[in-house]
Structure 1
């Protein structure tokens, strides 16, 4: 635990030293610190193959330190994040007869294939603010249509680079930057960037775009991204919320991605090719994906129905480092699609997915803090090397509760359950259990 504890201590000291050396009221008074705790049990049961299943339990610590900005025309600040994951049990288990230990989903691996006892990571971010424009360089966790930091395991995925966000124009937020490295959700080490299947690292992911709030109910989005030697991607989105009165609303969510090959991927260079089906079997990225979702909300009830189509020349892609350091927890990613679920993302070449979800907030029946949802997704017309009309489906159930008062106020409990059946991948039953708490330090 020495190395892990040191990482958290350094994170705390980074901001502490700065606060002690900067005589600026706003810098100090606007500073915050909190410790997020996540106890996580993960069970991934593969049902139809000789692959071993995974059963793990761990404790995650995330220390977030954020300074204010110095006064003046140019405000300066610094943030730090310390991440520590501790293995409590598991790290893979033997499954069906003849199976070997399953790869860990929560922890990096030792040389013998077993999960490590602990892992940690420290990130520091410098920041500048001029008027309504802020620049950040260092550790980033973007939540953008073209890049989403994954937070579906014990610790979050982080990225390293620079980003500028500007709100100089009313109702318009502009964002741009360059990402050079990533640290996986189960890793202490940074890597370059790639897509699923890519084994060569790219160190340039340029991106830019904006969110325009046309009216209080209507938001339009456009973003462009280029992962050097892998792909170029355009995104356009439109979100509209129609108030219907008496606690009712109707939400429309439209998303479109156009993704084309770039550089080494275009020329078929080994190491820069995507996995899964491609039109000529050459690993070239060529994809259009659109989705439309409609949500009707009435008081505590919400019903969503939607459809998504992925074009047939290749899978939908965004950044994924899983093929770069498979034994160091570099894998795992999120994509900005409503079909990105617990066990599957429904992004295979040619896939047509119809989905629905029902959500309920129990506050209206006297249980504030308790929420539940159930979702079902069915994908058809999947193209793979072995067939052109394969199918898959997933059923998800979620239950969340946050204690509202008393000694344990703020403690959160969550259960995630998924059943996934596919002709294009292994069948999976998955359970995730969380206990979370956020402790303000100052």
Structure 2
């Protein structure tokens, strides 16, 4: 398996050869301090992930269960001194199975073979070269982008990664410009780079995801407007708009955001004619120890929310551990409460509870679908001693739907993460 990882990444030697020459030149001839070393950070995260699903009614399988141990080495260099700074980032990812029966699939903690047998282990090596001039950065290679129109999913054993390039510029005050293109996608339960496709329509693939975005902040950064455009070539295109407002009120903070996404087919329309609109809004009030949030979300058009396979729906207001409530024509709302136990001298203990309800769903299995879910998470991070940075998260979710064979289930997850700083 390790040999396969290395073979798949031979192309990155070209990046490293160019990078090595520039690094040597700049480090030898630069007169200023060596920010390449000073701003470099590296850490190894150990992630132990247990997950089980107990399917409820009309089920075609009873349970899905897996337990993995993962190693995530994350290296981020600074930039070489000089007018053109150059740097290197890489992720070394490896996960192996502790437990996972062949017939208990569906957790997406491990890759699944064609005969529905879970792999014993998997991994990837992601390398990206970056260059910086003034306040503009160009990144080329493989990494985990977190963009409102393309969010890598890091909710299982290993994070999702994409291969491509991205330009980010902050040359103008309060304005950030994003431009880029991705060619390949390796989802969270895969070790291979493949062409991308629209979620649930794998027969139509594309090797180009193009995007451009603007984020503008004002009013002392309490307000932000975001405008983005993206396209999965010859499959879909999507426009994204969001406004965020933050209002400090004495010891509390009132925050409101509203977003709108509009997607249609693009180019050759390999996945057919598409039509989806998503309107959402969240209002939250927070103080030092707790936050209460209310969200509303409306899907419009004949199709579900448009996104690249494997990506997170976190941009949507009602995205959760088990559902994004993004089915065709679905209306949903959420009430959520976050509590920090600092009030009881336990500032590193946190509790989250939320309830989400959705109805009005129209898809191939129902013309009046409903779903509702309850989720709770309790987390604790150790801040001192030899176990410093050990994080423990326990999650329980229950979701019920009135359609489908495996749509209603109870979901339990236990996640232990321990970060070892190599240097910082």
TM-score for the superposition, normalised by structure 2: 0.90
The whole-number CA distance in structure 1 between the counterparts of 2:394 and 2:62 is 23
Q: Alpha carbons of 1:91 and 1:127: their partners in 2 closer, same or farther (altered >3 Å)?
A: farther
More strand by share: 2
The whole-number CA distance in structure 2 between the counterparts of 1:2 and 1:262 is 38
Q: Which residue of 1 aligns with 2:97?
A: 87
Per the TM alignment, residue 104 of structure 1 is displaced from its structure 2 partner at its CA by 5.3
For residues 302-321 of structure 1, the C-alpha deviation after alignment (integer angstroms, 9 at most, x for no partner) is: 1101211000321111111x
Q: Which residue of 1 aligns with 2:291?
A: 302
Per the TM alignment, residue 198 of structure 1 is displaced from its structure 2 partner at its CA by 2.9
Per the TM alignment, residue 4 of structure 1 is displaced from its structure 2 partner at its CA by 8.4
Per the TM alignment, residue 263 of structure 1 is displaced from its structure 2 partner at its CA by 2.2
Is 1:312 equivalent to 2:321 in the alignment? no
The whole-number CA distance in structure 2 between the counterparts of 1:415 and 1:162 is 36
Q: Structure 1 stretch 126-135 or stretch 111-120: which is displaced more?
A: 111-120
The whole-number CA distance in structure 2 between the counterparts of 1:298 and 1:28 is 39
Gaps of 5+ in 1: 94-100, 266-271, 274-282, 321-330
Q: Which residue of 2 aligns with 1:44?
A: 53
Q: Secondary structure at the match of 1:102?
A: coil
Gaps of 5+ in 2: 28-33
Q: CA RMSD in A?
A: 2.3
Q: Which residue of 2 aligns with 1:159?
A: 162
Q: Alpha carbons of 1:347 and 1:111: their partners in 2 closer, same or farther (altered >3 Å)?
A: closer
Q: Alpha carbons of 1:342 and 1:395: their partners in 2 closer, same or farther (altered >3 Å)?
A: same
Correspondent of 2:274 among 261, 285, 306: 285
Q: Which residue of 1 aligns with 2:223?
A: 218
The whole-number CA distance in structure 2 between the counterparts of 1:392 and 1:206 is 33
For residues 191-217 of structure 1, the C-alpha deviation after alignment (integer angstroms, 9 at most, x for no partner) is: 111112132320111101111111221
Q: Which residue of 1 aligns with 2:83?
A: 73
Correspondent of 1:404 among 383, 388, 407: 383
Q: Which residue of 2 aligns with 1:255?
A: 259
Is 1:28 equivalent to 2:33 in the alignment? no
Contact 1:52 1:102 in 2 (8 A): no
Q: Alpha carbons of 1:240 and 1:297: their partners in 2 closer, same or farther (altered >3 Å)?
A: same
Is 1:106 equivalent to 2:106 in the alignment? no
For residues 322-341 of structure 1, the C-alpha deviation after alignment (integer angstroms, 9 at most, x for no partner) is: xxxxxxxxx46434112111
Q: Alpha carbons of 1:3 and 1:334: their partners in 2 closer, same or farther (altered >3 Å)?
A: farther
Q: Alpha carbons of 1:420 and 1:73: their partners in 2 closer, same or farther (altered >3 Å)?
A: same
Q: Which residue of 2 aligns with 1:208?
A: 212
Q: Which residue of 2 aligns with 1:278?
A: none
Q: Secondary structure at the match of 2:202?
A: coil
TM-score for the superposition, normalised by structure 1: 0.86
